[in-house]
Amino acid sequence: MRRRVAAVLLGLLASVPGAGPALAQPAGVPAEADRLLWCSSAFYWLGFDAEENGDPVEAEIFLVWSDTLTEKGVALLTGYAGDVAALVDGYDNETVEQMAAQTFRYDLEDCKALAED
């Protein structure tokens, strides 16, 4: 639900120059999990955007990649003391801001390679 609410923000933030500086990796999250979860959120938003633009095939590809990377990232959070759902929401918020500002923390082509592994 929170992802859908934040999607509205994507449209609003798209017109704000310089919005959304790249944030640091959350404390206690392994580097590989950080990359997987960030990429997962980016693909979620790209899927939502493709769906809005009338491309259900592309939307499905991005959403499957998002789900796959979320599963892989969460699996690496063994010993993480925080709330995983809140962590994922944080990635969603970060990536929607970065996509609007075009200040990605990770390269989307690298994310694609992770999803296709």
Least Cα distance to 84 among 28, 18, 21 occurs for 28
Question: Torsion angle of alpha carbons 54, 59, 102, 16, nearest 10°?
Answer: 50
Give the number of domains in the chain: 1
Q: Is residue 26 part of a domain?
A: no
- Kindly state whether residue 24 falls inside one of the protein's structural domains: no
Report the pLDDT value the prediction gives residue 89, as an integer from 0 to 100: 93
- Cα 46 to Cα 95: distance, rounded to the nearest angstrom: 10
For residue 27, what is the DSSP state?
Answer: T
Each residue's pLDDT tens digit in the chain (117 positions)? 334 433 433 343 333 333 344 457 788 899 999 999 999 999 999 999 999 999 999 999 999 999 999 999 999 998 888 899 999 999 999 999 998 999 999 999 999 999 988
19, part of any domain: no
Domain presence at residue 18: no
Residue 70 maps to a domain: yes
Domain-embedded: residue 112 = yes
Residue 25 counted as domain residue: no
Domain membership of residue 73 (yes or no) is yes
> What is the structure's pLDDT at 23?
58
Give pTM, 2 decimals.
0.78
In the structure encoding, which two tokens stand for residue 66, read together? 């998002």
Could you tell me the residue range of the domain that residue 85 belongs to?
2-12+31-116
